[in-house]
Amino acid sequence: MTKHRLLVSSRPGHRDGLARIGDGSIGGKARGLGFLNVLLRRTELVRMFPRFRVEIPPATVVCTREFDRFVERNELVKCIDWTDDAEITRAFCAIPLRRELVMSLVLYLAKHRIPLAVRSSSIHEDGSVSPLAGLYQTVLLPNNGPEEADRLQQLIDAIRVVWSSTYHQAPKGALRRQGMLLSQERMAVIIQPMAGRRHRGYFYPTIGGVAGSVNYFPIGSLRPEDGMVAAAVGLGTRAVGGGQVTRFAPHRPSLRPELYRPEEVRLNSQRSFDAIDMASGRLRLADDPRATIASIPLEVAREDGGMSLLESTWLPAERTISESPLAKGIPLLTFQGLLQNTRLAQLLCHVMERAEEGMGGAVEIEFAGDISRSPNRSRHVVDFVQLRRLPQTWHSGSVRLSEVAAERVLVRSSSAMGSADLVHSGPIVYIPPTALTPSVSRAFGDEVARINRVLRDREQSYLLIGPGRWGSINLSLGIAVTYHQISEARLIVELSTHEHRVASSQGSHFFHNIAAGHILYMGLDEEQGGVLNREWFEHARRIGGHAGVRLLQPKTPVRIQVNGRSRSGLVFVEV
C-alpha cells in the first residue's frame, strides 16, 4: 500500500510541510525545500517582518521508487538512447500509472483546488556539482475543472511529463559532461499549491523571480556580496528563462545605476507577463507541457490593480523619473515603489544569509510575491519555492591578462566569469550583431545546436560569440538555445552592442548551468569599453554554418585569459 509520511511537521498558522507518496528518495530540489522549511521555522520572521507572511507552499513528493517501478515495468529505460524529446514524452504519457498511486492523487486533489506546480526533483538536481537548473520539466496546472476526472488526468499527465524529461537531451547532455551515469538518474516529483490570485480568467502572483546572494557582474559601486535579484511581473518563468526582468541589489536596493538611463530601461522592460490560463483545465499536456501558460499584455496587470508599487513615471521633457502617483508621463517598470515602501529587499537578504550559513556557501532562491494592494490587506505574501547552491566561480583565479597590440585583440570584457589562461586552436562559432532579429533567433539557435552536435561527435570544443542574451526565452533579446545545445562550448561571449542593448543572462537557469558546467563566460558591452574586433571576424576563414551563423577556423591559435577576481577577460591572436 502507498505510504504517506510527513517529512516536516506542520507549523501553527501555516500550511503543512513536505509529505511523501511512496518510498525512495525525495530528490535534490525537495531536499532544498525541506532544508529551507526547517530553516525558516528557526528564524523570527514574524517579529522582524510583521508586514510579510512568509511561506513555503506545502510540497507533496512522489518519491523515486514510483519512477523506478514505472520505468522498469514498462521497459522505458530504452528511452535513454532516444533523441526525440517529444517521442519520449509521448511514450511515457501513453502508459497508465499504477492504481495505488492514482488513488493517492485522488486523495490529494480532494484537499487542493487551487492551481498547482508539478516540479522535477531528480537525485542530482540542485546539487553542488551539477545543479541541472531548469533542464527538467515543470508543469503548471489550473486545477479548476468542473469534472474531477479532468483535474486528475492533468495531474497524471504532469507527473508523466516530468518523469519523461529525465531522458530528455538537455539533462542527458549535462550529466554526460559531468561524467555521471544516465542509468543512475532517478526522478521524484514535487506537487505544490501556487502563490498568487485569480484575476478574471488568469492566475498569477504580483511578482516572481530569483534572488542570488552573489552578483557575478556588479556595476558601478556595487559589490559581488550585494547580491542580485531578477524579478518579473507575474509568474517567475520570465526571470528563470532569461526574459525581460527588473534587477536590483537586495543589500543596496536604492543604488540603481540603470535608472539614470530611463530610455534604456523602457526599451528593455517587460511588455507582457506569464500567467496560468484558468480555461486550460481540459488540455492534454503530452504534446505541449506549457499549454496552460498564457502570455498577457502588461496592460492587463494594470487593469487588475497590481502595478501601483511596480511602476514609476518617466517625464521625457524633464528627463527624470517620478514616483508621484499624480505625475503625468510614460509608465516605467522600475519596482521602485516596492523597494521604497516595503522591506522585501531586507527580507530576501535575511533569508539568503540564513541559507548561506546552513549550506556553507552562496545560494540562489526562487520566490513569488503577492503584494498587498489595499489597506484592508495588512500583509504581503512571499512564497519561497526553491533553494540551491550557487557555483563558486565568480572569485576564482588570479590570471594576469597579457598586454597585446590592439589589432591582435578579438574580445575584451570587464564582465568575465571563471579562471583560465589557455590556447584554443579549434573553431569559433560567431554571429555578427547585425545579423540577429527576432524572426531568425530560433533558426540561429537550431544551427548552433547542429554545429554543437557535430563538434561533440568530433570531440572538439569551440568558442561561442554572439549578440544579445544566450538562452533567452524572449526572441527579441538574443539566441534561443538551451544548455545542452551549447554544451561543447569552451567560452561563451554575450555581446551588448548598439544593435542589441541587453543585460547579461545572470539569474537565469541557463546562466546557472554554464557556471556550474565550468564554461568560461564573458559579457561584452561596447558602450562600457568592451572590445569586439568586428573586422577580424568578418575576414576570418569560414568553414561552415548557415545564414548568419558562421563557423570560423582561425589560421593561428587564439589565447583565452579570464580573471574571475577582477571579472576581466581577453581573447587575442597568438603569434
| Three cell numbers, residue 380 | 504581503
396: number of Cβ within 10 Å = 17
- pTM > 0.75: yes
Q: How confident is the model at residue 507 (pLDDT cuts 50, 70, 90)?
A: low
CATH of the domain at 18: 3.30.1490.20
Residue 368 within a domain: no
- Residue 531 pLDDT greater than 50, yes or no: yes
Residue 397 lies in a domain: no
State whether 559 and 412 are in the same domain: yes
For residue 466, the cross-strand partners are 494
What is the tally of structural domains in the chain? 3
pLDDT band at 558 (very low <50, low <70, confident <90, very high): very high
Residue 392 placed within a domain:
no
> pLDDT tens digit string along 121-141?
998 886 655 556 668 899 999
Domain range holding 325? 202-276+290-344
pLDDT digits 0-9 by tens, 272-287: 999 999 998 778 888 8
- Between the CA of residue 133 and those of 164, 338, 361, 365, 366, what are the distances in Å? 16, 28, 17, 12, 11
The answer to whether residue 517 is domain-embedded is yes
In a domain, 364, yes or no: no
State whether 209 and 148 are in the same domain.
no
Q: Is the pLDDT of residue 6 over 60?
A: no
If asked whether residues 558 and 534 sit together in one domain, one would say yes
* Alpha helix segments (H runs only) across 45-98: 45-48, 64-73, 85-93
The answer on 216 and 133 residing in a single domain is: no
525 and 494 fall within a common domain:
yes
Which residue is it, cell 540561429? 444
Query: Residue 360 has which C-alpha cell?
Result: 556553507
Last residue of a domain, one of 312, 328, 344: 344
Which pLDDT score is estimated for 56?
Answer: 87
Residues 80 and 28 occupy one common structural domain: yes
Instruction: Give the torsion sign (CA, 286, 85, 240, 311).
Output: negative
Distance CA 132, CA 138 (A): 13
Put residue 234 in one of left, alpha, beta given phi > 0 → left and psi -120 to 50 → alpha: left
DSSP letters for 309-376:
TTEEEEETTTTEEE--TT--SEEEE--HHHHHHS-HHHHHHHHHHHHHHHHTS-EEEEEEEE---STT
Per-residue pLDDT at 395 exceeds 60: no
Distance from C-alpha of 525 to C-alpha of 503, rounded to nearest angstrom: 9
* Residue 558 and residue 412 share a domain: yes
**Which residues touch 179 (CB under 8 Å, ≥6 apart)?**
none
Q: How confident is the model at residue 306 (pLDDT cuts 50, 70, 90)?
A: confident
- Answer yes or no: is pLDDT of 530 > 60: yes
- What is the reported pLDDT for 502? 67
Q: What is the pLDDT of residues 424-465, one digit of tens each?
A: 999 999 999 888 888 888 899 999 999 998 998 888 999 999
User: What is the structure's pLDDT at 17?
Assistant: 61
CA distances in angstroms from 425 to 95, 262, 461, 552, listed in the order given: 49, 43, 9, 11
Average per-residue pLDDT in the chain? 85
- Evaluate whether residue 511 is within a structural domain: yes
Whether residues 171 and 230 share a domain: the answer is no
Statement to judge: residues 167 and 314 lie in one domain: no
Look-up of cell digits 545542452: 484
Tell me the average pLDDT across 133-162.
Answer: 91
Q: Quick one: pLDDT band at residue 206, thresholds 50, 70, 90? A: very high
- Bigger pLDDT: 333 vs 66: 66
For the ranges 72-81, 243-252, 281-290, the maximum mean pLDDT occurs at 72-81
pLDDT of 341 reads 86
Mean pLDDT score, 530-547 = 93
Which of 164, 194, 224 represents a domain boundary (last residue)? 194
115 with 190, same domain: the answer is: yes
**Residue 155 clears pLDDT 80, i.e. is over it:** yes
Cα dihedral 414→415→420→422 (10° resolution): -60
Strands of the 60-62 sheet, one edge to the other: 4-6, 19-21, 60-62, 187-193, 116-122, 139-141
Residue 500 has pLDDT above 70, yes or no: no
What pLDDT is recorded for position 16?
36
* Span 341-393, pLDDT tens digits: 889 999 999 999 999 998 888 899 999 998 876 545 568 899 999 998 876 65
147 DSSP 8-state letter? S
% the chain with pLDDT above 70: 88
SS3 193: strand
Q: What is the pLDDT of residue 375?
A: 47
Say if residue 406's pLDDT is above 90. Answer: yes
The answer to whether residue 138 sits within a structural domain is yes
Residue 123: HSE in the Cβ half-sphere, 13 Å Cα cutoff: 14
User: Is the same domain home to 182 and 99?
Assistant: yes
DSSP line for 93-143:
HTSPPPHHHHHHHHHHHHH--S-EEEEEEETTTT-SS---TT-S--EEE--
| Domain shared by 186 and 217, yes or no | no
> What is the three-class DSSP state of 510?
helix
At which of 159, 194, 229 does a domain end? 194
Q: What is the pLDDT of residue 372?
A: 75
Share of the chain above pLDDT 90, in %: 45
Distance CA 410, CA 13 (A): 59
pLDDT above 90: residue 536: yes
The answer to whether residue 360 is domain-embedded is: no
DSSP character at residue 13? T
Predicted confidence (pLDDT) per residue in 90-129, tens digit: 999 999 999 999 999 999 999 999 999 999 999 888 665 5
